[in-house]
Structure 1
Amino acid sequence: MFPYVPSSSCWLYSFFSFLHHIAKKRSVMTNSRLAFAEKACSYLSASTDPFHAVHQAIQKLEAAGFQALQYRHNFPALQKGGKYYYTVHHSTLVAFTVGNKVAKDDFGFHLIGGHTDSPNLAVKPNSKKPPKQGCVQLAVACYGGGLWHTWFDRDLSISGKVLIRNGETLEPKLVQIRDPVARVSTLCIHLQSPDERAAFKVNTEDHTSPILATTTTTAQQELEKGATEQLDAWQQGQEPALMQRIARELQVDVHQIADFELSLYDTQPAAIGGLNQEFLYSARLDNLATVFCAVEALAAHDPADDTDIAMICCFDHEEVGSVSSHGAGSPVMGEAIRRVSAALGVTELSTVKAKSFCLSIDQAHAVHPNYASKHDSQHAPVLNHGLVVKTNCNQRYTTNSLTGFVVREIARQKDIPIQEFAVRNDCPCGSTIGPTISARLGIRVVDAGMPQLSMHSCREVMGITDLSHGYNLFRGFFENFRSIDNNIHD
């Protein structure tokens, strides 16, 4: 018999049906990524400082059934299949699930480490500045290594944590002024010399104080009248207009304000952009994009068949070296491992640590098309082309052959593309919390991240496809790490 040969019309129908199926599948994937990016926009816009970043994360975790633990108290007996979280100083978050099949003598921790802080203009302890040229200004300090020129001419506002006196007790409250109340203005071009026009140089002490109001404002004059009467020494150092606005936001008396940790933020919300809606424009992508994906992945993780502890640790103070009571250089992660293990009846941690693994996730440097020479051409990550594994032989990153393999294998199983980054030999290399965690705890760590441009700018950009890749990698890590690790021989 002769083989059947389909007619041209039948063949064309099959071909176009196939193309339609592929297009439909891509459309579903695109819509899913857009929806996830829109959810990220909401989180990023609401997370205007580390305190609000943690607060927003807690809301997601509690909606997923996580229970609060008290950091300053002993942990209760932890239940298999349980979901828990706690905070340190309200700006560092630890959250975890206990595998339903955890065995006392055979479990480890699947850790994701990130950070909640970003470079910003922080309000100084004495926020009041003497009026200059009819303007009321705010005393600020430069937190971290920001690109400070990007903070000029933006509509800024103020948020953070405030300590409120309530009788004999002291209660922390979060404040977030939503309307723009501050602005750092540039000097007009007509008053600049040719040299000044050629290179915009910021004196971070003289040029970054934002303008809040004018001294001729009736409201400001009223605030100044008797403002120092009945106020303690700390309050007398504060800008009266700021204190009054905080009191109004929190619905307290100004005399109840005992102290605060405040910073400025850009009021422009996060947005999806680009001709094809493939970019995420936002402040604080470094590193709240990681925090968002980690929280979403842990909230979605089902510990029913898990034999280990899935945990995220989101630290404050990475941008200034992690050396604080609740930064990555503190005992927080080590204590989390010890306390959770003890609550499960395990006090010998050497085996637990040997079976543990940490993804140190921080945003990565995508190659900039206008400055491509700043990258090694063989290690130049591209936006929307996959997650980035970071390697540095001088241990600025912790990735080695084994830890790099693990993250690549997880990515392979989840069909996630991976890119490699190593800094040029003639460029300095930044660092992450990875080396700190690895050295202090002695556990295996890999450094990876989602690529972005404009890192440490007031406004950054990344690809929405990479955001979904980050989430899927974290899901795969929680689900598949143990099976991969069991096949690795010492």
Structure 2
Amino acid sequence: MASKESVLSAAKQLVNFINKSPSPYHAVDEVKKTLLKDGFVELKERDSWLNLIKPLKKYFVIRNQSAIIAFAVGGKFIPGNGFSIVGAHTDSPCPKVKPISKKTKNGFLMVGVECYGGGTWHTWFDRDLTVGGRVLVKNEGKIDHRLVHIQRPIMRIPNIAIHLQRDMNEKFSPNKETHLLPVLATAVQMELQGNSQSASTNVSESSSCEQGNTEFTNQSEKHHSVLVKLLCEQLKVKPEQLLDFDLCVADTHLAVIGGALEEFIFAPRLDNLLNAFCACEALVASCKGDSLKTEPNIRMISLFDNEEVGSTTAQGAQSTLQELIMRRLSAGGSQTAFEESIPKSYMLSADQAHAVHPNYSDKHETCHQPAFHKGIVMKINANQRYATTAITLSILREIAKIANVPLQDFVVRNDSPCGSTIGPIMSAKLGIQTIDVGGPQLSMHSIREMSCTSSVKQSIDLFQMFFQKFPEVSQLLNF
């Protein structure tokens, strides 16, 4: 067992990563900073990589600023050799600010939002909320990509009083279109402060899109001027410079280490920033020392966006992003070098798993109840909703023994639906042997989720050993 100090150290680093990542764009930026600090070099998809990729060198590629693939080239790598891959995703369910968000109801300035992914939406009520994401800004004739994170509570979705809805404890099913609108300010206070008009136009706050105002001089008019002002102040730009943005609504309550014995993580976006963080840390750690010198494979992490909505995007797992990068790295060998690499490759699809819930333990199959602190969960499904096979299980069990990381088996009940991951997508798309794994957690898809501190270090240790030992362990297969 790892020491409490090492477990807490890894968990605190994850907490710091989550608190800096209210959106996929921030998560990718944090990963990028870690990689640059460790000597990775950024490549552009649009550029030629001819004669650029060298053994023992480390690189990364970003698409849409929300997906990132990083890789370290083994000292013994030649085109046609395999890829050792850990895949995860950067997105989480949340409300997102609509393209035209300006709404006014009963004297309140409201923000129109669209539900992204399968969130547990009732948990977003009565929380202190803010926004974080990206803004495209016109700057001296160029279009800049800027990150923004308002780090104070500016919005709230208030619950209705139980006196006005007596059955709310028995049946609380808010309408996502009409009940999930955050309150931003009051019209009267805006007027008292002299902000009843937009900073850049003469459009009144009361002239929301609901009242027929669908013609806008610039993009900032589509949103309440108080929200635009907050964004502009942080970005140090004028409202007319705003071209567009993608803003996630986020809780302002920070991720923390919790529990009487400091054994839990209470945090937003554990699904799946935990595995995105651990994959990055493991790749960086695996390149320390001399193991990369004798490595025949390329060690790779693929952190995709849009898993929570099916992955069918240019930056999602269903795109050609990973395949195209693998093909480019296989160039220079035989005409079939890429195809030769596939059976030599292996992918860990890392996404959080359902720990057994003490108040709802009957929701788990009796022999498969993953618990906190008992290891990384291996997800298995006979209907192939998970990509795990007996072969990929056997390989990982051998690696886990070397890493001294415990593993747990998980299948869903026959009368229960099964979640989805990028595992089946990638294994079917590329033919790579794949296994679905993840740390155990509770409150999945809630605004605040719960995991155990030990799964962070266990994940890093398992992924790191996988990078360093997969080629060796794969040689044990005698068929």
Instruction: Report the TM-score range of the alignment, normalised by the length of the smaller protein.
Output: over 0.9
CA distance in 2, matches of 1:215, 1:344: 66
C-alpha spacing 1:472/1:97, structure 2 compared with 1 (3 Å): same
TM-score w.r.t. length of structure 1 = 0.91
Contact 1:361–1:448 under 8 Å retained in 2: yes
1:91-490 equivalent positions in 2, closer than 5 A: 91-105=66-80, 107-129=81-103, 131-193=104-166, 195-218=167-190, 221-224=194-197, 228-229=201-202, 232-302=217-287, 303-342=292-331, 348-490=337-479
Q: Report the alpha carbon displacement of residue 299 of structure 1 after superposing the two structures with TM.
A: 1.2
Deviations for 1:274-329, whole angstroms, at most 9, x for unmatched residues? 11111111100000000010000111122222111000000000000000011000
Q: Report the alpha carbon displacement of residue 467 of structure 1 after superposing the two structures with TM.
A: 1.3
* SS across alignment from 1:337: helix
1:33 matched to 2:22: no
Deviations for 1:89-139, whole angstroms, at most 9, x for unmatched residues? 00001000001121345x21001110000000100111111x112111100
CA distance in 1, matches of 2:325, 2:413: 37
**Which residue of 84, 89, 99 maps to 2:64?**
89
* SS across alignment from 1:408: helix
CA distance in 1, matches of 2:368, 2:138: 54
Q: Report the alpha carbon displacement of residue 223 of structure 1 after superposing the two structures with TM.
A: 4.8
* Structure 1, 303-312 or 50-59: larger mean CA deviation: 303-312
Counterpart of 1:18 in structure 2 is none
Task: Let me know the Cα RMSD of the aligned residues.
Answer: 1.7
CA distance in 1, matches of 2:185, 2:354: 38
Q: Which amino acid aligns with 2:18?
A: L
Q: Report the alpha carbon displacement of residue 234 of structure 1 after superposing the two structures with TM.
A: 3.5
CA distance in 1, matches of 2:332, 2:65: 23
CA distance in 2, matches of 1:325, 1:223: 40
TM-score w.r.t. length of structure 2 = 0.93
* SS across alignment from 1:245: helix
CA distance in 2, matches of 1:104, 1:442: 18
Counterpart of 1:13 in structure 2 is none
C-alpha spacing 1:352/1:192, structure 2 compared with 1 (3 Å): same
Contact 2:354–2:444 under 8 Å retained in 1: yes
Q: Report the alpha carbon displacement of residue 88 of structure 1 after superposing the two structures with TM.
A: 0.3
Q: Which amino acid aligns with 1:172?
A: H
Gaps of 5+ in 2: 204-215
Greater helix fraction, Structure 1 or Structure 2: 1
* SS across alignment from 1:198: coil
Counterpart of 1:6 in structure 2 is none
Deviations for 1:209-250, whole angstroms, at most 9, x for unmatched residues? 101111012466525257545963543322222111111110
Contact 2:200–2:239 under 8 Å retained in 1: no
Gaps of 5+ in 1: 1-25
CA distance in 2, matches of 1:462, 1:374: 18
CA distance in 2, matches of 1:345, 1:45: 46
Contact 1:104–1:346 under 8 Å retained in 2: no
* Number of equivalenced pairs: 461
Deviations for 1:437-476, whole angstroms, at most 9, x for unmatched residues? 0111111111111110000000001111111111110011
Counterpart of 1:59 in structure 2 is 33
CA distance in 2, matches of 1:426, 1:45: 37
C-alpha spacing 1:416/1:403, structure 2 compared with 1 (3 Å): same
C-alpha spacing 1:249/1:223, structure 2 compared with 1 (3 Å): farther
Contact 1:338–1:347 under 8 Å retained in 2: no
Q: Report the alpha carbon displacement of residue 196 of structure 1 after superposing the two structures with TM.
A: 2.9
